[in-house]
Structure formats: C-alpha cells, structure tokens
Structure 1
Amino acid sequence: MMTNRHSNMWRIGYFALGSIIFIAIGLFLWHDHQDQERLAEENYINSNTPTLFIHGWGGTLRSEKKMASDAEASDAAQRRMIIRVHPNGKIAVTGTIEKWMRNPIIFLRMDNNRAGEFQYARWLTRVCKLLKSKYHIDNLNFVGHSMGSYATVYYNMINGNRQDLPRANKLCLLAGPYNGIINNGKQNQPITGPLAKLWDDQPNANKLLKNGRPKTIHPEYQMLNQLKDRIPRQIRILNIYGDLNDGSNSDGVVTTESALSLGYLVKGRVNYYQTFKATGPNAQHSELHNHNLAVDRSLTNFLWGKHYNMSSSAPKYNPMLDKMMNPGMAFKRQNQLKAQ
C-alpha cells in the first residue's frame, strides 16, 4: 500500500512538473509570437496588393522561396499562391488570393525555365490577365531575378497600363541583364539559336556615359530603349545589383554596367528609381537571392516597409535607410539566434 501511495505521488509530481513546463513553453511561444506580430505591425504596411516573384534562366520555385524566406520569417508577407506555366502555355494555380490577405506573395514557376525573357514576358502577360479576371487583382508588385528582372521590365513596357491587367506598383529587380550577359562559356549557356546572342558581354568591356546611356548597346537593350516611353509612370523601382570586388565589376554573370543601364531607360519616366549595390562573395549572381541578408532587407523594406524613404528627391544610391539596418527591426530575433 505504502509503495503504491509513493508511486502515485511521484506520478502526480511528474504530471504537475510536465504541465508547468508545457504551460511555460506555451507562454514563451505565445509571447514570442506576440512580440513578432508587434514588430511586424510597427515596421510593415498592411496591404492586399500581391507581390509576384519571377525566377530567371534555369530558375525554379526554390529560387523564389529563398528570396521570400526572410520576408516571411519577419511576418512582412506570406506566400498564398503558386502559379505554374507549362511549356505549352497552360496555367495551373495552387492556392488563392483574397482581399483580406495581408501582403500576399505569389510564386511563378515556368516549366520551360530556359525559354528566355521575351517568352517569359508573354507568359507573364497571360498570368497577369488571369490574376485580373479571375482573382480581381487590381494592383501588383513584381520581384524578378536575372532574366526575370528583364522580363518584368519588358512586360511593363509592352503592356503599359492595359485595363485587362493589374496596375503595376513596385518593381524590385535583382541582377537584371539589361545590356548583355557575360560569356563564361558554361554548359547552361545556349551555344546556338537566338538566345545565344544574349551572352555577348565581357567584364570591363563597356561603360556608362554621363547621361547613364551605355557606350555599347546590345540588341536586347536596343529593344527596351525603343519601348522606354511606354513604361507606366506610376511604377516605383529598386534596382539591386552585385559586385564581387574582384576587379570584374560584375556579379560573375552580369556586369554592373549592364545592370545599371536600366537607369537611362526609366529615370524621369517612372515615379521612383533607386539602386542598391551588394558587394563581396555573397553578391555573386545566384547568391544575391540566396539568403543575402542585406539584399533580403532591402527587398522586404522596399516592398512592405513603413519607414522606407520613397521620396522622389532621394539620392540615386542610398544605403537603405537607418531604419532598415537597425537591429531593432523585425530581423532582431533572427540576429539574436545567429549570435547564440
């Protein structure tokens, strides 16, 4: 009897201790969640305008998830839809977009991920037409990487403010090859066909004139130049580019001159244009969207930050605002975890 009584008391004690630990963990998680929500409310806007992520040459959904991961981790935005474009142009949609959703993210996957930026833009037109007609999306942000950036600019130039398409709001463009791609002779580079002409640049072979116009103009840039007056004026652009600091003045794939040549096409034609330069090994072409903290912060705050300086009088280069680099922002918890 005495043994059973002691056994029951130990069981009760273990149960009570377990309950206390469980409740403590729950309170900690709840408090942590509340703190994260408070930071998100303080630092990020509450908008139902979706943001469409567009990968580049050979890109996949994985590329876009990496670009969006820190925005989701900080509760600035949340993925809500995946759109898949089959090689024949057929569109498949997973998820949905509703008016009540806060800063929703849409991932766009093109099965033929080596079709090139002009085909990307044509598919992008079909996708955006669907978003307008079926999901009643009136405004849309864009995030593009590499050829996805070029396709985004080209799409907006050929379509302007068409009534059957969502009105373009913000464009966050990473590593855009607007005036040539470095010919590295790699296997994933087309050797024949019309797309092979796009790999026609070399490090330090070009320069920007005083007015921002490139000295050497490649065919793909000439096409944008002919359409530049058609770009919607309300658009706001953040042009992110990389420099490895290895003397090539490039991210290894796109030269800074090629990336910055966008300025000549859009300055004075759009509502806002700003550049952001990433440097060092993490500024490599593919690494720009692979958890590059400075790039992630600039992307997140440009699209959704309450404290982002969107003044038209802002300088061409701005080290992305004191607010953004303040560890008291929503990245505070991530930085603390890394430091532990």
Structure 2
Amino acid sequence: MMFKPQRKIWRILYFVIGSIVFIAIGFSIWQNHQEQERYAQQNYINSNIPTLFVHGWGGTLRSERKMASDAEASGAAQRRMVIRVRPNGKIAVTGTIKKWMRNPLIFLRFDNNRAGEFQYAKWLTKVAKMLKSKYHIERLNFVGHSMGSYATVYYNMLNDNHKDIPRANKLVLIAGPYNGIINNGKQNQPITGPLAALWDDQPNVNHLKKNGEPAIIHPEYQILNNLKKHMPRQVRILNIYGDLNDGSHSDGVVTNESALSLGYLVRGRVDYYQTTKVTGPNAQHSDLHNHNLAVNRALTTFIWGKHYNMSSTSSQYNPMLDKMMNPSIAFKHGQDEANN
C-alpha cells in the first residue's frame, strides 16, 4: 500500500512531462508555420491567377506533382484542382477554383499521354474554354514540360486572345522541343504514323543564325513559324532548357538549338522573354521536372516572386534569379533589336 502514492506521483509526472513535450512540439510547428507565412508574404505575390501544369509525352500527374510540391513547400502556391481529359475528349474535374484562392495550382492529365503536342493543344483549348465559362477564370499561367511546352506555345498561337478563353499571363516552358526531338531509337518513341516524323533531330547538327532562326527548320517548327504573329503580346515567357555538358549540347532528348529556337518565334512579339540554362547530370530531360532545385527556384520566382520585375518601365531582371541562374538571353517587346 505504501507504494501507491509514489506510483500516482510518477503518473502525474509522466503526464506533465508529456504535456510539456506535446505543447513544445505544437509550438514549434506553429512557429515554423508562422515563419513560412511571413516568408511567403515577403517574397510571393497574392494573386488569384491559376497556374496550369501541362505534362509531356508519356507524362502523368506524377510529372507535375513534384514541381508543384516544391512550390507548395515554399509557401508560394497551393494545389486546388485536377483536370483529367479522357481519350475521347471528355473532361473530369476534381476540386474547384474560387476568386479568393491565393496562387492556385491546376494539374492537367491527358489519359492518352502519347497523342502528341497537336492533339494536346486541341484538348488544352477545350479545357481553357471550360475554365473560362464554368469557373470564370480570366487569366491563366502555364507550366509545360517537353511536348507540354510545345503544346502550350501552339495553343497560344492557335487561340491568341480569343474572348472565350482566359488570357495567357506567364509561361514557364521547360525542355520544349520546338524544332525537333533527338531520335534516340527508344522504345517509348512512336515508330509509325505522323508523330514518328517529329523525332528527327540529332545532336550538333543544327545551329541558330545570328537572328535566332534555326539553320535547319523541321516541319513542326514551320507550323509554329506560320502562326507566330498570333502569339498573344501580353505573354511573359521563361524558357528553361538543359545541357548535360557531355558534348551533345542537349538534355539527352532536346538539343539546345531546338529549345532556344523559340526565341526567333516570339522575338518582338511578346512582352517579356528570358532563357535559363541548367547544366550537369541533373539537367537530363526528365530530371528537369523531378525535384530539380534550380528549375523549381526559377519557376517559383518567375511566376510568383514579388521581386521579379518585368514591367516595361523598370529593370528587366530580378537580381536574385540572375545571380543564381545566369540567364543567357532576355528581351522585352520593343527592345529586342537593341539587345542584339
């Protein structure tokens, strides 16, 4: 009987210590959340413009989630909607977009993820019309990877600023094959049909002329070249490409010349255009959207960064991003000739 009071005291002690530990952990979590909120308020804009992620050839929602997760972790944005396009073009939506939402993210999945960039662009048009009519979205950012980048550019040239779709705002285009894709003979490449002809590029064969035009123009590039006058003028573009530094001057799938050939199409047309080169082993084509720190920092800063100034009356560059990424080419509409 004499040990019962001691046991009771120990139980109370355990409870008190456990409560203190629990409160300390809770306070630490709350403090970290507050610090993240302060950081986000200081560094990121508060906008209701959604950002739509467009995956590439063979891509899935996993292709987009890693980039989006890093944006969420930084406090810059939050995922709000998933749009799924069936092979027959029917659209299924999970989640919603409201005017009060801050920097909302939209994932886009094509069930037929090997339909190619031209079909992607048609489905993208259908999705955009739905976002405008049903969710009253007036402006839209885009993040594209690989064929998703080409599809985003093609979509914008096809539709310009048509009144039944949201106006395009900022485009982050990653590893876009605008003038050919390296024919590596991989099993996941199309070997028959019209898409097979698009895998027609080779490393160190093409080059860009002084005006940025490719010396060799592939059919898919000519399609964009024919439509370039319809690119919406208000669009701001960050073109991210990879170089493995292995002598191929490519990310293993897309050559630098193919990715950089976009400049000739939008020069003197869009409000702002800048390129960012990622180098080394992590610059491999698929790794560019796979928790790539350099890509994700550039993406997040460009779309949501408060200090990334692209106004026509102020400095073009964000010093933080310039110092970190060393972008190679930049111009604003009306100033491209002066920058040559």
TM-score clears 0.5: yes
After the TM superposition, which residues 237-256 of structure 1 pair with which residues of structure 2 at under 5 Å, given as runs? 237-256=237-256
Equivalent position SS for 2:246: coil
Alignment partners' CA distance in 2, 1:178 and 1:217: 10
Alignment partners' CA distance in 1, 2:160 and 2:179: 21
Matched, 1:19 2:25: no
Aligned to 2:48: 48
Aligned to 2:74: 74
Aligned to 1:171: 171
Aligned to 1:122: 122
Distance 1:324 1:198, change over 3 A: closer
Equivalent position SS for 1:40: helix
Equivalent position SS for 1:205: coil
By how many angstroms is 1:316 displaced? Answer: 9.6
Equivalent position SS for 1:46: coil
Q: Name the amino acid aligned to 1:231.
A: M
Q: Deviations over 1:274-309 (max 9, x none)?
A: 000000000000000011101100000000000113
By how many angstroms is 1:315 displaced? Answer: 7.2
By how many angstroms is 1:317 displaced? Answer: 11
- C-alpha contact (below 8 Å) 1:276/1:318 kept by paired residues: no
By how many angstroms is 1:2 displaced? Answer: 2.2
Distance 1:111 1:51, change over 3 A: same
Alignment partners' CA distance in 2, 1:233 and 1:169: 10
Distance 1:294 1:31, change over 3 A: same
Alignment partners' CA distance in 2, 1:317 and 1:243: 23
Matched, 1:196 2:196: yes
Aligned to 2:337: none
Q: Deviations over 1:120-172 (max 9, x none)?
A: 00000000000000000000000000000000000000000010100100000
After the TM superposition, which residues 99-138 of structure 1 pair with which residues of structure 2 at under 5 Å, given as runs? 99-138=99-138
Q: Name the amino acid aligned to 1:41.
A: Q
Alignment partners' CA distance in 1, 2:21 and 2:66: 35
- C-alpha contact (below 8 Å) 2:143/2:171 kept by paired residues: yes
Aligned to 1:184: 184
Count of residue pairs brought into register by the alignment: 325
Alignment partners' CA distance in 2, 1:302 and 1:255: 23
Alignment partners' CA distance in 1, 2:325 and 2:93: 34
Alignment partners' CA distance in 2, 1:258 and 1:315: 25
Q: Deviations over 1:48-71 (max 9, x none)?
A: 000000000000000000121210
Alignment partners' CA distance in 2, 1:65 and 1:6: 54
- C-alpha contact (below 8 Å) 1:54/1:148 kept by paired residues: yes
Unpaired runs of 5+ residues, structure 2, are: 327-340
By how many angstroms is 1:320 displaced? Answer: 2.2
Structure 1 residue runs of 4 or more that deviate by more than 2 Å after TM superposition: 311-325
**How much is the aligned-residue C-alpha RMSD, in angstroms?**
1.7
Equivalent position SS for 1:182: coil
Alignment partners' CA distance in 2, 1:106 and 1:213: 34
After the TM superposition, which residues 171-320 of structure 1 pair with which residues of structure 2 at under 5 Å, given as runs? 171-311=171-311, 320=321
Distance 1:205 1:314, change over 3 A: farther
- C-alpha contact (below 8 Å) 2:161/2:167 kept by paired residues: yes
Equivalent position SS for 1:22: helix
Equivalent position SS for 2:47: coil
By how many angstroms is 1:267 displaced? Answer: 1.2
Distance 1:127 1:282, change over 3 A: same
Equivalent position SS for 2:3: helix
Q: Deviations over 1:214-252 (max 9, x none)?
A: 000000000000000001000000000000000000000
Alignment partners' CA distance in 2, 1:71 and 1:310: 21
- C-alpha contact (below 8 Å) 1:308/1:321 kept by paired residues: no
Equivalent position SS for 1:270: coil
Alignment partners' CA distance in 1, 2:324 and 2:244: 26
Alignment partners' CA distance in 2, 1:266 and 1:127: 24
By how many angstroms is 1:321 displaced? Answer: 3.2
Q: Deviations over 1:165-190 (max 9, x none)?
A: 00100000000000000000000011
Q: Name the amino acid aligned to 1:321.
A: D
Unpaired runs of 5+ residues, structure 1, are: 326-340
Distance 1:316 1:74, change over 3 A: closer
Q: Name the amino acid aligned to 1:285.
A: H
Equivalent position SS for 2:189: coil
By how many angstroms is 1:323 displaced? Answer: 8.2
Q: Name the amino acid aligned to 2:230.
A: R
Alignment partners' CA distance in 2, 1:41 and 1:318: 19
Q: Name the amino acid aligned to 2:118.
A: F
